[in-house]
Amino acid sequence: METVAELQDTASLTLKFEFNPKVGIDNPALCLTEDLDPSDTGKLESPRFCLLSKDESGSFGFHLQHHLARTQPVVSKVDPGSSAQRQGLREGDLILGVNLNLLEQENFAVVVRHIRASGPRVLLMVVAQHVYDVARERQGDKAPLYPTLGPGVRPRLCHVVKDEGGFGFSVTSGYGGSFWLVLSSGGAAERAGVPAGARLLEVNGASVEKLTQRKVNKKLSQSGQQVTLLVAATEVEEQCRRLGVPLAAPLAVGWTLPGRPRCLNLEKGPQGFGFLLKEEKGPDGTFGQFLREVDPGQPAEKAGMRDGDRLVAVAGDSVEGLSHKETVSRIRAQGPRVELTVVDPEADRFFNTARLSPLLFMEPAEPPAAQDGASQDQTEALPSADAPTSRAPVPGSTRLCILHPGPGGGYGFWLSCVTSWPRLYISQVIPGGAADQAGLRQGDVVLEVNGCAIDDENEMDILNLLLEADPPLSLKLAAAMPGQDSREFQKEDNEWTYSSELVQK
């Protein structure tokens, strides 16, 4: 009887559907995904993007499950009322990408690691299982299913510091509640890297999509002497719309930031590492792991550690949400050589305001310092800074990396070249991929491929060799010289000679 009563109560709350012959049938309950024709993959192949934010408990509101029959993690549960549910994540979805990283061929642990490293917000690229199976069957096993964002097709995160002329921009509104920035020539915003006519997406980590212009101006006036803007140039907005990719903050490239995370490499000395790890409250009120009492002359200080730095990763893996005991255990597990990623207090406050993880804006590793015992021949072989040369100089020390393709048949790195810096170099390395495991680093200059040296005349031939060569792939590399950071050349020269994505062979 109780069951019948419950059913009757529920039925009384259900809205009745009435058929109007003049209007026809327009009942959303009749629009079932099962009615889609599997052979019609025009709409099926489009992935969905879900921008999730953590709640007060530190959860995005979904659970993953590892199926033995699939490489991709499967969403097994979505919590009611959570950010995941509000953003359209569904039970049974496959996770194919996290932020900028395409992870279709990566295992469960790698995907979880990327999600944990995303901080307060994460952008997931997902697709229903049956949608993926139809698209993959049509495209084949190795062909990439979805487009990726190129190096210049990303929104910018710009930190603007007010000067005597203010922030150097005004806000104008247009259709659909969108806002654009009008820059003052030579003003603070222009110097901070804000593109002319850029669309304004966020102010201090908060979206302006549903705000009025009065509220946007109020937010700016309340920012004090500095403000963090998420903006997108017109051409970036157009390309993202064409690719179906949202202009989300986790995809942003840091343009002028007050600080970035630093990677410290420590080797244990006779008296230890020379620092203490303490659990304290951070600028957002949550507990974190902070580095204190850095001893002068000890390995920690020599590696660049400063008192008050916050620890964000150990050996590249985020420690966010871990207890003090768990963090200490991870450090000890590294043995006498430890890699720590830290942020100073100013950078910590900035990323907390922007609601983004510092790990999304890592600085490339510094090139190794020249050894005292380096041969005189190697030193003299380097061209001087003033010497005329058609190619950028490279360090005397080189290394050889042997790459075997990953599970998806790709090597996991991007090879690029810009006109102002005529050298092939590694522009991006996928974390955990074959290239990462072989020791490739962003900014590395490619000197030889499978024993073939690169010169001014054969760069295109070398590119074709990379695309067609049978595994394993042998690369002779050298770290970029100081002052020759490939990211700087990308900023100054957007005319790409070519860009080869060596994720899939």
Domain boundaries, the chain: 43-139, 156-256, 262-361, 390-502
**Termini Cα distance of the chain:** 64
In 103-236, beta strands by DSSP E: 121-128, 156-161, 169-173, 179-183, 199-203, 206-207, 226-232
What architecture (CATH level 2) is domain 43-139?
Roll (2.30)
Spell out the SS3 assignment of 146-174: CCCCCCCCCCEEEEEECECCECCEEEEEC
pLDDT at position 43, please? Answer: 47
| Mean pLDDT score, 342-346 | 92
C-alpha distance from residue 89 to each of 123, 262, 356, 357 (Å): 11, 34, 21, 21
pLDDT at position 176, please? Answer: 61
| Higher pLDDT among residues 226 and 422, named by residue | 226
pLDDT surpassing 60 at residue 256 = yes
CA atoms within 13 A on the CB side of 224: 5
Q: Which of 290-299, 379-388, 405-414, 496-505: highest mean pLDDT?
A: 290-299
DSSP state of 272: B
From CA 488, how far away is CA 480, in angstroms rounded?
A: 12
From CA 128, how far away is CA 476, in angstroms rounded?
A: 42
For residue range 16-55, list pLDDT tens digits in order: 444 454 444 444 333 333 333 444 444 445 788 999 999 8
Give residue for tokens 């420690």: 319
pLDDT surpassing 70 at residue 479 = yes
Cβ–Cβ < 8 Å for 248, 231:
no
As assigned by CATH, the class of the 156-256 domain is mainly beta
From CA 164, how far away is CA 151, in angstroms rounded?
A: 34
From CA 226, how far away is CA 221, in angstroms rounded?
A: 10
Please check whether the two domains, 43-139 and 156-256, share a CATH topology.
yes
What's the angle, vertex CA 338, arms to CA 335 and CA 340, rounded to 5?
A: 145
From CA 443, how far away is CA 480, in angstroms rounded?
A: 6
Give residue for tokens 């957002």: 284
pLDDT at position 85, please? Answer: 92
Q: How many residues does the chain have?
A: 505
As assigned by CATH, the class of the 262-361 domain is mainly beta
For residue range 283-314, list pLDDT tens digits in order: 777 889 999 999 999 999 999 999 999 999 99
Please name which of 404, 415, 380, 379 lies closest in space to residue 469, comparing C-alpha atoms: 404
Cβ–Cβ < 8 Å for 202, 158:
no
For residue range 150-207, list pLDDT tens digits in order: 667 789 999 999 988 899 999 998 666 789 999 988 899 999 889 888 999 999 999 9
From CA 346, how far away is CA 360, in angstroms rounded?
A: 17
For residue range 52-96, list pLDDT tens digits in order: 999 888 889 999 888 777 778 899 899 999 999 999 999 989 998
pLDDT at position 464, please? Answer: 66
pLDDT at position 240, please? Answer: 86
From CA 414, how far away is CA 151, in angstroms rounded?
A: 10
* 474, β-bridge pairs: 402
Q: Which of 335-339, 432-436, 462-466: highest mean pLDDT?
A: 335-339
CATH number belonging to domain 390-502 = 2.30.42.10
CB atoms within 10 A of CB 288: 22
pLDDT surpassing 50 at residue 481 = no
C-alpha distance from residue 358 to each of 258, 409, 429 (Å): 12, 31, 18
Please name which of 404, 453, 438, 429 lies closest in space to residue 501, comparing C-alpha atoms: 429
From CA 399, how far away is CA 448, in angstroms rounded?
A: 10
Q: Which two tokens stand for residue 301?
A: 């200080």
The b-or-e profile of 401-426 (16+ CB within 10 A means b, else e) is bebebbebebbbbbbbbbeebebbbb
From CA 83, how far away is CA 59, in angstroms rounded?
A: 9
Please name which of 48, 73, 47, 46 lies closest in space to residue 62, comparing C-alpha atoms: 73
